[in-house]
Amino acid sequence: MTTETIDHSTLTRLVETGSVSAAHIVGQQGGWEVQVTYGALDHTLTAQRSRQVRLFKKFETLVAYLQGVGINHFDVDASSYDPLTVKTYGRPDRSAALKQVHEAAAYDEWFKAQVQASIDDPRPSISDENARQLFAVKRETLRKRAHG
């Protein structure tokens, strides 16, 4: 049986028209690949941009993908799957970004608490207009002392 490739949009259209007769999940080094049968050919799912065989690192992600496309029944061949060869990629940039988000959230919380504490302060306060008048008098007094 010849194996061809297929991308997501084509797979979606084929499932919608009921042309897919079978779906197979095949374990590979590094993850799981999808093969679908329609007509006399098996077609391997590829990534749309790179056209490389699409490997799913997590089985759960693959099942969710297939269900989203409309494929609920499939068989699994795990004979070539080795979980020790699945590479996971760290994202140190995401760690730094999340740290910044948490710091910003903590600062916002602190700032809001400070504003609320000022609002709730029981000490007597004066209006902005009164404060401006008091400081105008103080400035004028200082000017008189400086000039004379």
pLDDT digits (tens, 9 = 90+) for 51-87: 889 989 888 999 999 999 999 999 999 888 877 776 6
Give pTM, 2 decimals: 0.55
Domain made up of 3-85: CATH architecture: 2-Layer Sandwich (3.30)
**Alpha carbons 22 and 10: distance in angstroms, whole number:** 15
- CB of 25 closer than 8 Å to CB of 34: yes
Higher per-residue pLDDT: 92 or 33: 33
Every domain of the chain and the residues it spans = 3-85, 92-147
pLDDT band at 108 (very low <50, low <70, confident <90, very high): very high
- Could you tell me the strand order of the sheet in which 22-28 lies? 3-6, 41-45, 31-38, 22-28, 75-77
Q: What is the pLDDT of residue 133?
A: 95
CA 130 – CA 62 distance, rounded (Å): 69
Amino acid at 15: V
Query: Mean pLDDT across the stretch 15-34?
Result: 90
